[in-house]
Structures are given as structure tokens and as C-alpha cells.
Amino acid sequence: MLTHGLPKFNKLLSGDFGFADPIGIGAPASLVLTVMSEFGGAILLIIGLGTRLVSVPLMFTMIVAAFIVHGADPFGKKEFALLYFTIYAALFFLGSGKYSIDNILSKKSS
């Protein structure tokens, strides 16, 4: 997801707020929320920090991508978003792994 979020992050940093508004909250807000999810959330997932919490906005982003942004497209266009949704749902239910910061922090608090 980081590769999808990085160009949007660069767009945000350049001050270009032109973006799709699929859920009707305004283009700038949609861009900021998408960047937070796809870029920030992906970084947190990579290091395993807040895995379950971060999975929720990523799942929401993928549902919006599959059924609103690509709603009229054939299944092949929705397939990757649904695949990513499934992976994020698995991370939500299973949590982070053995080598995650979540795991290290949970050991320290025990």
C-alpha cells in the first residue's frame, strides 16, 4: 500500500489538493485521509505498531476503492482492492506477528 500512498503523499506536500471525493467529504479531506491510511498506515503496518487499529482505516479505504471508486468497473478492477481488504481483515483479526513492535510492547507491559 505504501507504493499507492507515496505519490498521494507527495501530491499533498506539493500543495495540490485536487483529488477524487468518493464519499462526499471534500477533495482535500479525502486526500488527507487517504494519505494517512495508505502512507502512514502502511508504515505502521511494516513496523508492526498498532496493527489492529491501523487495519481498520485501510480496510475502509479498500472498500471505498472497490465499491465506490471502481463501482462501475468490471471485477478485475475491484479484485486487488478486495484482496487487500482481505489481508487487512486477517491482520485485524490475527494481530501483528512475533517480530512486531506490538509484540515487544506487550511483553514489556506484562
Distances, alpha carbon 25 to alpha carbons 30, 34, 53, 57, in Å: 7, 12, 22, 15
Domain boundaries, the chain: 2-109
Q: Are residues 37 and 60 in contact, defined by beta-carbon separation less than 8 angstroms?
A: yes
pLDDT at 50: 95
Comparison of pLDDT for 110 and 77, the residue scoring more: 77
Reported confidence tier of residue 108, pLDDT bands at 50, 70, 90: confident
**Averaged pLDDT for residues 82-97:** 96
Distance between CA atoms of residues 51 and 71, nearest Å: 28
Distance between CA atoms of residues 110 and 21, nearest Å: 44
pTM, to two decimals: 0.89
How many CA atoms within 13 Å lie on the side-chain side of 76? 0
